[in-house]
């Protein structure tokens, strides 16, 4: 079905509306003026003006991760596009569906080093799932629909559509989304039945099973988390989640061992090390999870379910690799388990649980409180405890506070936890929280931040205030780039090379200067009041929590070490120095 000719800019608006888009995060500029003019003349799309294009992409990511919809970004050519690159890479690493429209100089100027020209498709090729340069006006609508299809299908990811300015003016009939079928891109959704049967058989014979779930469960949608929870209950297997997978299984489930990996729990990591069957569900054996590869789960047969064939056998060779959507595969596994009346070796699994309970009894996340100083873990724990009765959405920046948040904030539902896992982008949390708040206007949205990270995109305070978004910025302020400092202590003789936060702003005054509310806690007995006031105060709030500057994040598996070489606290550190091979790893 084609319509009357419309301008390219109008086609863009119509295509976005037809794709169900409600919010666009963007920043205007010369090469997107026709699109901004078309935005001005309509009221179906809401445009959120960010303060930096990186913030636009992170906000779109927060929006996408908390809703399951595609996040949309609109930026200009040249610096608009290059500023978006970090966000796009972040979305690629964490498989977040984002469509980013970039303006481009008119087609006849491409390649001439025109003002604000850059090779956007060239620059973004390795940091997007796919990208397009639209040089033919008749392909504009089709390309936009394709971009949404590619962004949300299979393993989701960011897609860039680069649109020269003359194409935005050119008139052409519109093509609707139903008329667009992709020629080549058809990700496999259904898993191989034979392999699924083999996997069920292997699980039923396991004596020490472990389920290891990842962010793909969240990406697949709420149904996948429900099925995953059912699968965990059905097998009774101890279950751990990656940083990106938190919320896929309710944290209150007794089978949940806590997070796995470098700063995961003692019980989760030792269970991964000692298991005889590992069921990896939509995770990707990241180096932060596996630790030293040749000592990773040495006794385990491994099953891996993933929608992306490249994830299977990439870092860890597995025994059964099932390519497919996790919801579809889990549904089949549960079906087979039931019809064949499978059951685990109950006696062996009970003995396995006994062993795990001994590890659990170490209480690896314990920390010592202090009369004078707020402990960072304590701040996050209290935030969790004082917000338990609400549906809370948490975003984070990157560093120690992020790991403490992952350890001490417990998620009962998927899509409540927004963090930069793969790329580890400092400055992610505040714009992501803005995106989350737009999608969930009445929810409590908190960015658990570090004072150093948040400075990287602090300008987005302006965005939050402009749109009256009641985002709560909860700064764990230790006046250090804490994770850098922790590594310098571990690996570089405690020489704190450039890892301290000097000349910090007064965050209370900073909040006030933006028209937000600023709060501060410096002593343990002030903490609860500040948290409560933060929650009860309307609008954007910054809570600056001055914490013990020297606290380090444990447990920790140093780089190059195996899961069973986990350090539980500073006293372990001295006994187990990091190997030379480990030093070179990041």
Residue ranges in contact with another protein by CB under 8 A? 121-122, 125-126, 129-131, 133, 150, 183-185, 308-310, 312-314, 317
User: Which run of H or of E encompasses 85?
Assistant: helix 79-93
Task: Give least dist CB 159 to another protein, A.
Answer: 9
- Give 394's strand partners: 417, 446
For residue 376, give every residue at least 6 positions away whose Cβ sits within 8 Å of its Cβ, in sequence order, or none.
400, 401, 404, 476, 478, 545, 547, 548, 551
CA angle at 259 for the pair 351 and 556, rounded to the nearest 5°: 100
Task: Give least dist CB 382 to another protein, A.
Answer: 44
Residue 22 or 319 with smaller CB distance to another protein: 319
The answer to whether the CB of 408 falls within 8 A of the CB of 363 is no
Question: CB neighbours (10 Å) of residue 266?
Answer: 23
Task: Give least dist CB 150 to another protein, A.
Answer: 6
Can 54 be counted among the known catalytic residues? no
Can 481 be counted among the known catalytic residues? no
Residue 226 or 314 with smaller CB distance to another protein: 314
Residue 188 or 501 with smaller CB distance to another protein: 188
Residue 185 or 496 with smaller CB distance to another protein: 185
User: Which residue among 69, 165, 301, 302 is the active-site one?
Assistant: 165
Strand, helix or coil at 169? helix
Residue 135 or 342 with smaller CB distance to another protein: 135
Task: Give least dist CB 130 to another protein, A.
Answer: 4
Can 190 be counted among the known catalytic residues? no
User: Which residue among 116, 188, 198, 466 is the active-site one?
Assistant: 116
Q: What are phi and psi of 544, to 5 degrees?
A: -95, 110
Task: Give least dist CB 285 to another protein, A.
Answer: 13
Q: Cα–Cα distance between 483 and 553 in angstroms, integer?
A: 8
User: Which residue among 42, 44, 115, 523 is the active-site one?
Assistant: 115
Residue 133 or 379 with smaller CB distance to another protein: 133
For residue 569, give every residue at least 6 positions away whose Cβ sits within 8 Å of its Cβ, in sequence order, or none.
554
Q: Cα–Cα distance between 348 and 355 in angstroms, integer?
A: 11
Q: Name which of 156, 153, 277, 151 is nearest 212 in CA terms.
A: 277
- Give 48's strand partners: 25
Residue 162 or 274 with smaller CB distance to another protein: 162
Task: Give least dist CB 366 to another protein, A.
Answer: 41
User: Which residue among 259, 333, 418, 483 is the active-site one?
Assistant: 483
For residue 127, give every residue at least 6 positions away whose Cβ sits within 8 Å of its Cβ, in sequence order, or none.
85, 88, 89, 92, 158
- In a 13 Å sphere around the CA of 494, the CA atoms on its Cβ side amount to 4
Can 44 be counted among the known catalytic residues? no
Q: Name which of 439, 433, 409, 438 is nearest 420 in CA terms.
A: 433
The answer to whether the CB of 541 falls within 8 A of the CB of 515 is no
Question: CB neighbours (10 Å) of residue 336?
Answer: 17
Q: How many residues does the chain have?
A: 586
Residue 98 or 133 with smaller CB distance to another protein: 133
Can 115 be counted among the known catalytic residues? yes
Residue 182 or 523 with smaller CB distance to another protein: 182
User: Which residue among 6, 14, 25, 53 is the active-site one?
Assistant: 53
For 493, counting Cβ atoms within 10 Å of its Cβ (0-12 exposed, 13-18 middle, 19+ buried), the class is: exposed
Task: Give least dist CB 529 to another protein, A.
Answer: 51
Task: Give least dist CB 310 to another protein, A.
Answer: 4
Task: Give least dist CB 154 to another protein, A.
Answer: 8
Q: Name which of 372, 532, 545 is nearest 450 in CA terms.
A: 545
Strand, helix or coil at 390? coil
The answer to whether the CB of 406 falls within 8 A of the CB of 246 is yes
Catalytic residue IDs: 53, 115-116, 165, 483
């Amino acid at each position: 079905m084609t319509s009357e000719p419309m301008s390219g800019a109008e086609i863009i608006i119509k295509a976005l509306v037809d794709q169900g888009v409600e919010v666009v995060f963007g920043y205007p500029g010369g090469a997107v003026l026709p699109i901004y003019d078309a935005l001005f003349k309509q009221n179906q799309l809401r445009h959120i003006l960010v303060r930096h294009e990186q913030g636009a992409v992170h906000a779109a990511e927060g929006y996408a991760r908390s809703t399951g919809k595609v996040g949309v970004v609109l930026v200009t050519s040249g610096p608009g596009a290059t500023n978006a690159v970090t966000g796009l890479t972040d979305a690629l690493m964490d498989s977040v569906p984002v469509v980013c429209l970039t303006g481009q100089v008119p087609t006849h100027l491409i390649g001439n080093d025109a003002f604000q020209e850059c090779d956007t498709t060239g620059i973004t090729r390795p940091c997007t799932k796919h990208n397009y340069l639209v040089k033919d006006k008749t392909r504009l609508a089709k390309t936009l629909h394709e971009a949404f299809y590619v962004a949300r299908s299979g393993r989701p990811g960011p897609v860039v559509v680069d649109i020269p300015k003359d194409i935005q003016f050119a008139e052409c009939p519109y093509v609707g989304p139903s008329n667009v079928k992709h020629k080549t891109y058809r990700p496999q959704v259904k898993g191989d039945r034979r392999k699924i049967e083999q996997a069920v058989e292997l699980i039923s014979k396991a004596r020490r099973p472990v389920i290891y779930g990842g962010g793909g469960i969240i990406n697949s949608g709420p149904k996948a988390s429900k099925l995953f929870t059912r699968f965990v209950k059905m097998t009774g297997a101890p279950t751990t989640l990656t940083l990106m997978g938190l919320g896929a299984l309710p944290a209150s489930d007794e089978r949940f061992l806590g997070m796995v990996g470098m700063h995961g729990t003692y019980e989760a990591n030792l269970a991964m090390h000692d298991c005889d069957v590992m069921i990896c569900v939509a995770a990707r054996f990241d180096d932060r999870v596996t630790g030293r590869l040749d000592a990773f789960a040495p006794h385990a047969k491994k099953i891996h379910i993933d929608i992306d064939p490249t994830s299977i056998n990439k870092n860890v060779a597995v025994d059964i690799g099932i390519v497919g959507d996790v919801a579809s595969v889990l549904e089949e596994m549960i079906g087979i388990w039931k019809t064949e009346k499978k059951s685990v070796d109950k006696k062996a699994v009970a003995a396995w649980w006994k062993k795990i309970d001994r590890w659990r009894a170490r209480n690896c996340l314990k920390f010592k409180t202090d009369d004078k100083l707020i402990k960072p873990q304590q701040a996050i724990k209290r935030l969790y405890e004082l917000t338990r009765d609400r549906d809370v959405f948490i975003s984070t920046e990157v560093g120690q506070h992020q790991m403490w948040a992952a350890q001490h904030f417990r998620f009962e539902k998927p899509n409540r936890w927004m963090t930069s896992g793969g790329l580890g982008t400092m400055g992610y949390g505040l714009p992501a929280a803005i995106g989350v708040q737009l999608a969930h206007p009445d929810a409590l949205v908190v960015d658990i931040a570090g004072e150093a990270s948040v400075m990287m995109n602090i300008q987005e305070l302006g965005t939050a205030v402009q749109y009256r978004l009641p985002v709560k910025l909860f700064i764990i302020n230790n006046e250090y780039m804490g994770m850098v400092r922790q590594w310098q202590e571990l690996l570089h003789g405690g020489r704190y090379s450039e890892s301290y936060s000097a000349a910090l702003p007064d965050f209370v005054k900073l909040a006030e200067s933006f028209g937000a509310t600023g709060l501060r806690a410096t002593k343990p007995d002030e903490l609860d009041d500040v948290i409560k006031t933060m929650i009860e105060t309307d609008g954007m709030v910054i809570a600056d929590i001055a914490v013990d500057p020297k606290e380090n994040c444990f447990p920790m598996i140093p780089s190059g070490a195996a899961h069973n070489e986990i350090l539980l606290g500073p006293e372990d550190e001295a006994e187990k120095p990091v190997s030379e091979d480990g030093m070179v790893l990041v």
